């Protein structure tokens, strides 16, 4: 059983071991196709007029049960690569979490006082939570034949996996701007196509194992699943976000990426945002199965007993087929704070807190806390985030952007040093961007100074101050004055002292 379990976990890790929230780029001022999924209001005042994502992926895996010992991507010899090992020590219950996203066409436009766009992406999330350390030791480390006096106490041990595709639109607006303060609000509305749901939860299991006897004092569990298939479920989801900015200049005449404000952005001293993510559900209706088990029993010789038949005969079992299953999205609350350090450097702190419980059918988002330093310019950006998965397990990441191309890792250590590796991640985006409004690139018309005729003389009205001009015979007169100047030499000399002059024959009125 141990070998089978290790192989299973390793397979899941290799398939879906890839990022969580793209924390390296989720707070970027130039990557709106990533930032709208952490806070939808970020589309309003993006420093990119238009950004279109062609393709992208966001994949992540983290656990505290299986690890690669002293692993590094660039191993010196293939023989240095060791088999995965189990971590059965520690006070914390074991978990496994994986997430895979495929980002399709995504468009975000930020102009004047609004932001809008659309997106298509496919998502798969899976997790195993609250695995007791005692049960892990029993199943993976000890031989069943030698077990004596083992107490099992399980509460809310949950396995869940769900896959779906979402088609969404984004819209945001400047709700308030006055002085150097701005408030923007935004949201994503999503139509969901369900592919599959698999959910199982052991709410309570109290049992005692003594030699060949298995005494189950209390068992309550349920299972919900359907056969995978396209459009086996339908649903809706929404995201909400709000951002407050304290800017470095006044905002009364500011319009993002607009000729009305010369397409100049106004930087901020700091910004603070909050958001509600993935509020919604999917209703699966095709090829579904529901099962509930409760009761107690005593099995005298569980080594030679068909447990499935015992459960059906000794426990209260209910089964339903082709009945609708409502599955909740991984709803979460997020908070972000971004501080301008000057010279294009920014410091960001982000938190994500799951709002769904283990008793709710569906998938759960994992909790995290992140701090990141980044350097951003229009065409280039680099960020280094430090993330605490479940507020406990640290991961050091790295991400960079060249125009619209983004590549990042949530755990960069396996690329640098040998270490016990419990997770891996990678994310990327490829697309096109228009950073500046083409209306702001039009060449400015040349300034032609207006001319005025004054008593037979022509004057240039430069800087609202008329200048002396002379006629072809060298005579001239200052406007509003009397008298003439004689000779070209003296006229030129005086003209030099007073500034620019132009010699031409005047036209009489």
- pLDDT, mean of residues 460-465: 47
Residue 9 in contact with residue 65, Cβ under 8 Å?
yes
Query: Is 41 strand, coil or helix?
Result: helix
pLDDT for the residue numbered 135: 67
134: pLDDT strictly greater than 70: no
Residue 112 in contact with residue 255, Cβ under 8 Å?
yes
* Confidence grade of residue 355 (pLDDT, cut at 50, 70, 90): very high
> Over the chain, what is the mean pLDDT?
79
171 vs 207, residue with greater confidence: 171
Query: Is 473 strand, coil or helix?
Result: coil
Residue 278 in contact with residue 331, Cβ under 8 Å?
yes
Q: What CA–CA distance (Å, rounded) separates 98 from 92?
A: 19
104 vs 488, residue with greater confidence: 104
Q: Which secondary-structure segment (H or E) carries 203?
A: strand 181-210
Q: What CA–CA distance (Å, rounded) separates 308 from 315?
A: 10
**Is 116 exposed, middle or buried, given 0-12, 13-18 or 19+ CB atoms closer than 10 A?**
middle
Residues in the chain: 509
243: pLDDT strictly greater than 90: yes
Q: Which secondary-structure segment (H or E) carries 26?
A: none
Across 19-33, 139-153, 367-381, least confident range:
139-153
Q: What CA–CA distance (Å, rounded) separates 161 from 361?
A: 10
pLDDT for the residue numbered 86: 75
Token reading at 414: 């396996």
pLDDT digits (tens, 9 = 90+) for 148-183: 577 778 888 889 999 999 999 999 999 999 999 999
């Amino acid at each position: 059983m141990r070998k089978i379990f290790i192989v299973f976990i390793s397979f899941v890790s290799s398939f879906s071991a890839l990022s969580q929230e793209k924390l390296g780029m989720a707070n970027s001022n130039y990557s709106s196709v990533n930032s709208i999924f952490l806070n939808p209001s970020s589309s309003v005042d993006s420093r990119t007029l238009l950004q279109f994502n062609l393709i992208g992926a966001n994949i992540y895996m983290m656990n505290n049960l299986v690890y690669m010992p002293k692993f590094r991507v660039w191993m010196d010899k293939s023989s240095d690569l060791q088999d995965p090992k189990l971590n059965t020590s520690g006070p914390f219950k074991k978990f496994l979490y994986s997430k895979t996203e495929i980002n399709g066409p995504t468009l975000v436009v930020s102009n004047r006082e609004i932001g809008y766009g659309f997106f298509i992406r496919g998502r798969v999330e899976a997790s195993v939570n609250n695995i007791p350390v005692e049960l892990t030791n029993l199943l993976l480390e000890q031989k069943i034949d030698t077990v004596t006096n083992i107490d099992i106490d399980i509460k809310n041990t949950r396995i869940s996996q769900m896959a779906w595709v979402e088609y969404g639109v984004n819209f945001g607006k400047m709700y308030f701007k006055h002085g150097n303060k701005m408030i923007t609000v935004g949201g994503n509305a999503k139509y969901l196509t369900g592919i599959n749901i698999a959910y199982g939860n052991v709410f309570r299991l109290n049992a005692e194992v003594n030699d060949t006897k298995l005494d189950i004092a209390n068992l309550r569990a349920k299972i919900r699943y359907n056969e995978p298939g396209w459009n086996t479920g339908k649903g809706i989801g929404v995201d909400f976000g709000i951002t407050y900015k304290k800017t470095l200049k006044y905002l009364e005449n500011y319009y993002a990426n607009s000729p009305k404000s010369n397409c100049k952005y106004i930087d901020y001293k700091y910004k603070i945002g909050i958001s509600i993510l993935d509020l919604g559900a999917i209703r699966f209706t095709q090829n579904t199965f529901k099962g509930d088990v409760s009761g107690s029993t005593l099995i005298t010789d569980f080594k030679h007993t068909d447990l499935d038949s015992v459960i059906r005969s000794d426990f209260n079992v209910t089964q339903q087929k082709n009945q609708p299953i409502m599955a909740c999205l991984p709803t979460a609350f997020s908070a972000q704070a971004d501080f301008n350090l000057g010279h294009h450097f920014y410091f960001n702190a982000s938190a994500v807190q799951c709002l769904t419980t283990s008793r709710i059918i569906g998938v759960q988002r994992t909790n995290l806390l992140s701090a990141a330093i980044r350097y951003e310019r229009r065409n280039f950006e680099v960020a280094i985030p430090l993330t605490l998965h479940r507020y406990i397990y640290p991961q050091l990441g790295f991400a960079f952007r060249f125009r619209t191309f983004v590549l990042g890792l949530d755990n960069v250590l396996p690329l640098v040093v040998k270490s016990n590796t419990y997770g891996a991640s990678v994310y990327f985006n490829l697309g096109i961007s228009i950073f500046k409004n083409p209306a702001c690139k039009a060449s400015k018309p040349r300034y032609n100074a207006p001319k005025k005729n004054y008593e037979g003389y022509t004057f240039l009205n430069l800087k609202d101050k008329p200048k002396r001009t002379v006629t072809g015979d060298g005579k001239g007169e200052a406007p509003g004055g009397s008298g003439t100047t004689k000779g070209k030499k003296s006229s030129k000399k005086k003209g030099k002292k007073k500034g620019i002059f132009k010699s031409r024959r005047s036209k009489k009125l």
